[in-house]
Amino acid sequence: MRITVEQDRCVASGQCVLAAPELFDQRDEDGVVVLLRDEASPGQEESAREAARICPALAITVDER
């Protein structure tokens, strides 16, 4: 599974970090999403999907291929 983020959409809610702290972090200065790894391991896929679902800014895309 491949993960992409659009930093210019991000509203810094931090919901992705709550859902998948091993995949996402926030920049210190403005809270914008930082992708820690763009490939989710099988054990991380569900939390990656959850992060994409709950992001209030639609800034996260997961590609299941």
Partner 1 sequence: MTAPGHVVVVGAGAAGLSAAETLRREGYAGRLTFVGDEQAEPYDRPPLSKQLLSGDWDAGRLALRPRAALRGLDARWLLGHRATALDTAARTLTLGGGAVLHWDGLVVATGVTPRTLPGAAELAGVHHLRTLDDALRLREHLRTAGSLVVVGAGFLGAETAAVAREAGLRVTLVDPSPHPMGGLLGPVPGERLARLHRAHGVRLLGGTRVRGLAGERGRVTGVECSTGETLPADAVLVAIGSRPATDWLTGSGLILGDGVECDAYCRAADRVVAAGDAASWLHPRHGRMRVEHRMNATEQGVAAARVLIGTGAPFAPVPYFWTDQYDVKVQVYGVPGPGAAFRVVEGDAAGDRFAALYGQGGVVTAALAWNMPRQARLLRQQVAAATPWREAAGAPATASP
Applying CB under 8 A, which residues contact partner 1?
9, 11-15, 17-18, 21, 25-26, 28, 30-32, 53-54, 56-58
Q: Which is nearer to partner 1, 39 or 53 (CB)?
A: 53
DSSP 18-53: HH-TTTEEE-TTT--EEES-SB--GGGHHHHHHHHH
Smallest gap, in angstroms, from Cβ of residue 12 to partner 1? 4
Q: Which is nearer to partner 1, 41 or 61 (CB)?
A: 61
Angle at 56 between CA 54 and CA 57, to 5 degrees: 125
Q: Which two tokens stand for residue 56?
A: 């209030």
Smallest gap, in angstroms, from Cβ of residue 9 to partner 1? 8
